[in-house]
Amino acid sequence: MYLNEIIQEVFHEVDSLEAKGQVASYIPELKKVEPEKFGVYLSTIDNTGFGIGNCYETFSIQSIAKVLSLSLAYRILGEKIWERLGVEPSGTAFNSLIQLEVENGIPRNPFINAGALVISDILLSHLEHPKEDFLAFIRSLSNNRKIDYSSRIATSEKQVGYRNVALCNLIKSFGNIENEPADVLNFYFNLCSLEVNCQELSGLFLFLANDGCTLSGSRVLSQSQSKRVKALMQTCGFYDESGEFSFKVGLPGKSGVGGGIVAIHPKHYVIAVWSPRLNSKGNSYKGMKFLEEFTTKSQLSIF
């Protein structure tokens, strides 16, 4: 498969770049990660895969989990979900409070923290055992029973998550959170703490490359819902750098402050990249660079 060669070539090119950016330090446990880790894994919908570098080492999924929590909540609520949050890029940082006050507690989209807290609230209201049921959902996506939460990371974030506490309380004051903020935050910190490697991460997102169906044939989302989730990744997946990612990479994607990025080429492949040094917008510096070069060299993008 010629994509393997491009991955190897671009990986070595980007690996030799000057180390720029910083590992996320506002969550104490994330600070402990080795900054120079770098891994890539590509999984295709015809069940082939190729990886390089530290692609089998686990890292913290962080905000990438927001796509999976949205998927489950969307499956449960259908289009009614959009009564609680919007579908517009925010143009602000992932943890910003500014728009919420002006926009009456309706988050701009599900991928900023405010939106992910509303999604967490929806899941708390609809799942019998939220933490266990969400994990079972994640595991079912690629039939991978190894994926788990990290209580070490969830606890670490809980101890310093003042902004998320503020966001959740502000939304609650507008009536857009039904449950106790402490329970919503607990669930949110847990879903951000999931640990995956690049191979597992690319496997988790194959259902979106495959029009909403897992490779083993179970339907997670309708084709239209799958299209909409990818549209949101395209326009909102990188916070106030979403335009830049779209411009340079040309694929729907999602980043997390653990240094992971996942990007989807619909009906073709999912690629996951991990490099913990982040740029000023909280997105992986080398991850962005790798994907830009990869889609340029392979001439495969959705545009």
Which positions touch ligand GLN (CB under 6 A)? 62-63, 94-95, 113, 157, 164, 192, 256-257, 282
In terms of CB distance, is 62 or 176 closer to ligand GLN?
62
Of all residues in the shown chain, the one whose CB is closest to ligand GLN is 63
Altogether, the residues listed in the chain come to a count of 303
In terms of CB distance, is 211 or 241 closer to ligand GLN?
241
Q: Sort strands 39-44 and 49-53 into parallel, antiparallel or unpaired.
A: antiparallel
In terms of CB distance, is 71 or 225 closer to ligand GLN?
71
In sequence order, what are the residues at sequence separation of 6 or more whose Cβ sits closer than 8 angstroms to the Cβ of residue 269? 3, 42, 43, 44, 45, 202, 209
Closest CA to 26 of 150, 158, 119, 120: 158
The answer to whether the beta carbons of residues 1 and 7 sit under 8 Å apart is no
The SS3 assignment for 278 reads strand
* Minimum distance of ligand GLN from residue 164's CB (angstroms): 5
Q: At what angle do helices 162-173 and 181-192 cross, to 10 degrees?
A: 130
In terms of CB distance, is 94 or 207 closer to ligand GLN?
94
In terms of CB distance, is 89 or 212 closer to ligand GLN?
89
* Minimum distance of ligand GLN from residue 69's CB (angstroms): 12
**Cα 49 to Cα 173, 198, 203, 302, distances in angstroms:** 47, 11, 9, 20
* Minimum distance of ligand GLN from residue 111's CB (angstroms): 9
* Minimum distance of ligand GLN from residue 255's CB (angstroms): 7
* Minimum distance of ligand GLN from residue 63's CB (angstroms): 3
In terms of CB distance, is 212 or 282 closer to ligand GLN?
282
* Minimum distance of ligand GLN from residue 94's CB (angstroms): 4
| CA gap 90, 88 in Å, rounded | 6
